[in-house]
Every structure is written in C-alpha cells, then in structure tokens.
Chains A and B, each alone.
Chain A
C-alpha cells in the first residue's frame, strides 16, 4: 500500500493552514481569470510566478496548479451564460451549454460542468499518483543521449498536436531555443547574444518572456479588435440541480470525457484545449442523441468539460516525472521550480517527496474547493462579467508591469517584456503560435547540456543517438510523427479536429 502511504504523506502537507490558503487562492484566482475572457492561465501564472519566490516552493506550486485547473471550471461559466469562451478550452462548451441556458436550463448546465469537472479531477489526481512513480523510475535510468532524444520527441509531438502550421511551429521552437541561449554559457563561460547589456549576462527569465508574449501581447491583440457584444443570459439561475434525465445522459459522457482527457493530457502538446475539442467530437459521433447537438444536448457540456479538467491535470505527469513540459503552463511550472533552485526531473519524487505528494494531494482538495466556489457562489462570478474589458486590461497591464519588475528587481526586465509584447502581437497577426516558443525556451539550456554530455560520452560520434536502443526508439517515434503529419489524410483530420464550432 505504497500509494496510500504516499497519499497520506501528501495530505499531511496539503492540509496545513498555509497550503490550504494557497490552494484556495489558486482556485479563486483560477476561477476569476477563467470567468473573465481576455486573460488566460498562461498570462496569469506568468504574472504571479515571480511572487512565488517569496513563499515555500510547495505552496507556490500548489497555487499555480490551482490557477490552471481552476480556470477550467471558470471558463465553462462564461461559455454557458454568455456564449463566449472564458478560456480556449471552453470554446466547444459554448455550443450546447449556451443553448441550454437559453432554454432556461443554465443551472443544470453549470452543475453538470462543475460536477463533471470534479469527477474528472478526482480520477486524474489518482492517475497522477499511480503512474507518476513508475514513470519517474524510467526517467531515472535515462542517460544524456536518451534525455536529448526524449526532448526532441517532446517538442515534435507538441507541435504536431497543437493547431496551426507545423512548419511555423517548429521555427517557433528554434526561436525559443535561441532566446533560451541568451546569457552566459555555463560550460565555457562565454556570453552569447547579450549585445553587451550587463543585465542580459544572467539570461532572460521565463516569466519575462511569458508576461511579454502572452500577457502584453494578448492585451494589444484584444484592444486592436472591436469589442464583442456580450449577451448575458439575464434571468436568475433558479434551479441548480440537473434533472434525473440529465444525470442519466451525462454520466457516460463524463466517463468518456475523463478517459479521453486523461490520455490526451499526458501527451506532449496535449492538455486542456485539445482534450475538450476531441471530447466534443467523440460525443457528437457516439451519442444516440446526435440530432440534439447544437440545440442544448447535455452530453455536449459534460464530455468536454470533464475532458478539459482531466487533461489539465494529467499534463502534470510528464512535467513532474521527467521534467519535460507538454504545454506552456507546464513550461512555466518548470520556471517556478528553477526560481527556487530545484532541478526539474525524475529525482524530484525521491528527493522532495513532501513537495511531490503535497502538490498531488492539493489537487484533490483544490477540486473540492472549486465545486463549492463555482456552484453555490455562481452569482458572484456572474456579476464580474459585467466589468468591461477597458477596466480589466488596465489591471492586467499593471500586474504584468509589477510582476515582471519583481522577477529580478531590474528595470531592464520591464523593457525587455515590452519588447516581447510587441513580438507577441506580431506573432498573433502572423498566426505563429507562441506556445512552442516557450517550450523551446525552457528546454533550450537542458538540451544543449545533454547534447554536450552525449557527445563527450561518444567522443564526438553523433550516431550515439541511434546506437542506444531507447534513444533510437524515441527518435523513430519523432520521425514517424513528422511523416504522419505530412500525410494529406492526417493533415485534413488534424485541421478538422480544431474546427468544431
């Protein structure tokens, strides 16, 4: 009963007053930014990342994780009531969720979304607790060549599963890798791409890059678009509990959504958004009520909402066990670990068991808090939707500015972030996804280090990556993905998967 012992250890950590407070803070902030369109979990976590330096690493991680899965709860509220996705992972929830609301069944839709998310949260917390330790053991047996190949596979898979042009996404990864090299080379002591600016010799912080590209870039992009009209379903939400028929039809969809989301979350490039799109497609194809989809089918809410929460949580598995981020939020989590001087990787579980298990246990507690935050207190969040974006962005702008200043207490970081903001805006206009860039940025130094070590082991023979069986397998998988995505049939399917609405 290793698992029970570990979970008991975790709950002991997660239930301390301080950690309960940070879990609650994360859940509240997550719900808030989930409800509000125009700000997502990536920008929020980037803004708050520097502040976690002032608290215990475990508490900081608990809060940041809470923001990510809390946003999945909050996002559905806006989707159902306003027909506007609070988060990209709630885009498909708009379709049937808002129809239900217009038929006077907003309460039922909100309850199904929250309860489905809670179920998915419980299952995926258990999945992490079960599968993380064996995976970390596998990771511990990896040498430098295996790690390098694993990172190559992770990056390739991340762009294949993300949406948009694969070619541009790969170019964005390389760009991220290059930005990651800025600063002093740890091996030779030489400086690279610092342009003789002293503040750049320590490199660029991941928070600076993410606040610029995601936080400021999003503000500029949002402001340059005409404001969308919000059609809040005005009537009071009277009946929060779904009918028996709703329950009967929703629970199989919740099960399917949870399974699909849990699997897709573990894959690099997976996570909340992909999971919810895939779950909606699955429900639409498999449901006996297929004709009702788009007209307020409860499965169309239950499936994707369970899937996005499951996917958000299982995407922690590769980050916690192998140190490989599958999406931009996980890249920031790695940044949070590095702020505290913790080397991400398989050794975290054995070297810092209290942090590892405390964080996992806090996920279940956080989910429990979120059901309460989102169901009985729904009225408060609805009020928040009345705040116009022209006030909201001023607050976001300020938090970006202070957040980036506190990264290193240097004005240079603020100026850099302003530059990255312009960059983020240009990328958005050119349809270049910034998420792969962040992945490349975080993995850049690690990849270089492992490449160097591997080449030293093999005395400069690059075929070492093909001679080691595990490394070869990982590279073959990466190559296979590249070939697959180039096939016309797969390519059209991939585009279809992201164009559900």
Chain B
C-alpha cells in the first residue's frame, strides 16, 4: 500500500469502524448499558485517561509551529487558561480565550 493511501486505510479501519460499530450496536440492541455497571465505569475512566494523555502530550511534546514556543511558556498558558476557566464560573470560553491570549503574548516575547 502506498504511503499516500495509508492514512485513508487507517481512517476507515481504525477511525470509521470502531465508532460505527458502537453506534450500530446502539441501534440494534436498542437496550442500554447499565450506566453504573462496573465495566462501563472502568471503560469511561480508561477513555478519559487516554484522551487526557493524548492532549497532554500535544502540549508537552508539541509539533510544528507550537514547538517554537518554549515549553515553559506553553505550560504557563495552560495554567492561565485553566485558572480562568475555574475563576469565571467554570466558563470554557473564558478559559480557552485566556489561554490563547497568554500563549500569543508569551509567544511574542519568548520565541525560542
């Protein structure tokens, strides 16, 4: 398989299929999971931890243009954003705007 087609293969087999299988199961079984069952709780915890890891790695081990901004500055921007979120009545918008502003300002002064 050529290198160009590989991402599409992954898209179908690893992206489309797993998501669609769970949706189809919902359609076909038509009866739910017990939301409080141990398996559901455990898999929710694992899924949350995985996504948290993916996202943390995007910040700590940044790629491309984001890597031009020093790690310390990126961490500070996250902390500022997260603090704004907590302080402004848990507003996600405030958090994202504050974090972005911090990154832009910090990145302007501290480009590595």
Chains A and B form a bound pair: no
